[in-house]
Amino acid sequence: MKKTFITLVMLLAAVSLSAQEKKIDFKKGTLEICTSAKIQISGYNGDQVVIKSNTPENVFYSGKGNSFVINGQARVNTTSTDSISYLYFSNFDKDKKEKSKGLKPLGSAKEDHTAVDMNFDIQQFGSRLTITDKQVDNQSNVLFVNSTSYEILVPNSVKLVIDTGKCKKNNSSRLIFSAEALKIDNYAGELMISSQYKAIELTDVSGPALVNTLGGDVKVVFDKKRPDELFSIISNDGDIDITMPQLSKISASIIGQEILSNLDFKILQEDYHANQKMVNAELNGGGTTFDIKTEFGTVYLRKK
């Protein structure tokens, strides 16, 4: 066991960072993102989807037992005497990139934006662009360790759909875990998020936004903007925390175990059912629709 643990630590200590950037012309249509990586998404008035990364070398583990994909630090706990093999998974991609430098495909090639040295497969199908985690084929026992962080710039003219539940279905032989929150800021396009066991942080996202998460907190901050379009936020058992300017015009339907606020909402209707409080309220005469619901969490409505 001691030898196994030291070997893994030595491999992780050998990790080095390499900055990568990928640009894709895409200013109209739907961008679908399905990843377990740590990502920061920002909206901007441009015509390209830009992916920037600080990508370490990856450690690939194959052995008996369950399969895991972990972002961050990893530790192996086992009393098994079975042999465990380690190798650097991404070295192949680095070698391939060096070998292909200065060369280009012979003949025609399909439109494939696979990101070399990134853990993404990127495909474009007309007005639909997909960014997904790379698949590990024919591996039933996989530990994929990385500490990668990505920044993705998305044109405000694009509809953004994020579905981490779909990731799990596509990788049924692996357990994906990340403690990092999904962060999106300054995005003015249409947004849809479906997530499992992942916190979500939205900053100056003007809407419309539909957010549905199972087992994750949702934090929304309007710093330099006010909400302009529909916001629907649902969390099964996480807290929902929203900060907005006092002069925002809001029509809110709110359900939670507790509802706490320091904003001057006018209560139109309230009720209690099955240990939940239900409130319909208006701020500054009403306006942008907010549908907020958490089954087992608390709703916080804060004044900026």
Q: What is the CATH number for 27?
A: 2.160.20
Domain assignment of residue 204, yes or no: yes
Domain count, the chain: 1
pLDDT, mean of residues 84-95: 37
Q: For the whole prediction, is pTM greater than 0.85?
A: no
**pLDDT given for residue 214 in this prediction:** 87
**pLDDT given for residue 84 in this prediction:** 35
**DSSP 8-state secondary structure symbol assigned to residue 242:** E
pLDDT, mean of residues 272-298: 94
Higher pLDDT: 118 or 283? It is 283
Domain assignment of residue 161, yes or no: yes
* In the predicted structure, residue 262 carries a pLDDT above the cut 60: yes
268: alpha, beta or left? (left if phi > 0; alpha if psi -120 to 50): alpha
* In the predicted structure, residue 174 carries a pLDDT above the cut 60: no
pLDDT, mean of residues 64-93: 38
Domain assignment of residue 208, yes or no: yes
* Domain enclosing residue 139, as ranges: 20-78+115-303
Domain assignment of residue 14, yes or no: no
Strands 59-62 and 85-88: antiparallel
Domain assignment of residue 159, yes or no: yes
pLDDT averaged over every residue in the chain = 75
CA torsion angle for 126, 129, 133, 135 (degrees, to 10)? 0
* In the predicted structure, residue 17 carries a pLDDT above the cut 90: no
Domain assignment of residue 41, yes or no: yes
pLDDT, mean of residues 98-120: 57
**pLDDT given for residue 7 in this prediction:** 35
Confidence band for 163, pLDDT divided at 50, 70 and 90: confident
Domain assignment of residue 293, yes or no: yes
**pLDDT given for residue 219 in this prediction:** 96
Strand partners, 132: 34, 121
Q: Return the structure tokens found at 250.
A: 């809001």
pLDDT, mean of residues 272-285: 93
Higher pLDDT: 129 or 89? It is 129
Residues 217, 237 contacting (CB under 8 angstroms): no
Domain assignment of residue 12, yes or no: no
pLDDT, mean of residues 183-188: 95
